[in-house]
A and B are shown apart, each in its own frame.
Chain A
């Protein structure tokens, strides 16, 4: 693997006033690949994503290293961070219903990324936006450009979100549960679009999800998080060889077509998993 895009070593995050760290000792590095982060809710997966982008004001972030390409994210000031966000790394949020500004037209919102980072005329930005909307497979981008977010469907909204975040051609995209607010039928479509764009442009992708199957099929490598720690790292094809009891528990708790009719296994949570070092 060539030089990693993102290098995280021993990352710990503590929310103000919390008795313990929300995320402890998370380490991973990311090249031009698709990395999945899975875990139950509250396991700290979104917190990791947001911390990397510096979206958590007032939160204590400690790490031995938190490097993005040639930058040390721990020492970057907010002003320097403004040039990074959107331009070099960005994040796709969960629910397009909440993540698109309800009183701005779709096209203007998407163009904002471009206008913010490049010196260009409004017409150039508009052309770029239309091109990008077409790239996320929106039919009739001219029409969608002038619609308000409440006038488009959820699947389309999420595609707009993807367009918005990929417009400035970033090197790293963090997708925070990009499909969990979507219908099962649109889910695959949106994922395929995201996948295609990420592959074509050579973007590093971190996919945060609670859907084990989705991550397994979509990512190259998967981190499994439990209670703020990474309990296991698996290659996507190697889920059958999962060794950690938590991962096995997650896998066993999944229903299977053609599986037995017996009740599914209940997930076992043991306190010692919070403490023991990563095997």
Chain B
């Protein structure tokens, strides 16, 4: 086995190690499994969905599960299962867009503030303090209200409110590295501050930021669902899970399936991200890296 693995390029090997580690613990294996299912569902949505998620059938309204509709139909006769399947694309899109905005932004703000220090640090950290002092849902509500309700604006609003904890984390990590000898060594080689931040400090902060980002995903999904529920996220015909719960709420007493299945989907995915984040923390812990 060792002879084969040594020939693999290092990043692939590292990824393989991490996945193998996650697979060994049941909780993170569950996370991995749910996430895998989510991605596959989103990729093959047209194949998996049994009905068109937008086609209404007013003769067939509020049907209970069964009868050709796995999870029943909603108030307009649309198939709930198909809507959930298509909704996974929206969820993934939110997660993906938010991560690529929040991760780099938080990392950049945190590492530069931590490395450069002084007044620059003070200014950046006070800005993050301002963002942190509002509950994130309220702040995203304010942003969406200002930008106008739509899925993209909801993503922007979530992105704007989710970076400060990551910046904080990256800064704290940076402060522990900036006095390290190997940073001095990089300076001695003549590297500029920006080069040190990008080449030496960012890779060191990456594991913890990645973990934090994964743990944040649950909050992001819930915020997105919350915004959808309040009618400020994805707009009606879109099969967004939070919005599905919001419209199903009125029929909740008689037709439980309208809110239960989207709710379970949200629960599963956010739980999966939390468990995966926990597993990643163990997998990327520098104290455990040497156990390979």
Mark A residues whose CB is within 8 Å of B.
53, 55, 82-87, 90-91, 93-95, 98-104, 112-113, 116-117, 150, 161, 164-165, 168
Contacts and interface: CB of A to CB of B under 8 A. Distances in A.
A208 B78 CA distance: 79
Nearest to A112: B189
B204 interface: yes
A161 B199 CA distance: 18
Given A53-B188, A101-B185, 8 more contacts: A82-B192, A84-B190, A93-B185, A95-B181, A99-B182, A101-B200, A161-B185, A164-B185
A165 B188 contact: yes
B203 interface: yes
B12 to A, nearest CB: 15
11 contacts: A53-B188, A85-B189, A85-B190, A90-B188, A90-B189, A93-B184, A99-B185, A101-B200, A112-B186, A117-B190, A165-B188
Q: Is the interface of A mostly helix, strand, loop or mixed?
A: mixed
Contacts of B187: 55, 85
Nearest to B190: A86
Nearest to B118: A58
Interface in B130-189: 180-182, 184-189
Given A103-B203, A103-B204, A98 B181 contact: yes
Given A98-B180, A103-B204, A87 B190 contact: yes
B118 to A, nearest CB: 8
Contacts of B290: 150
A224 to B, nearest CB: 26
B58 interface: no
Contacts of A55: 184, 187-188
Interface string B251-292: 000000000000000000000000000000000000000100
A100 B180 CA distance: 10
A85 B188 contact: yes
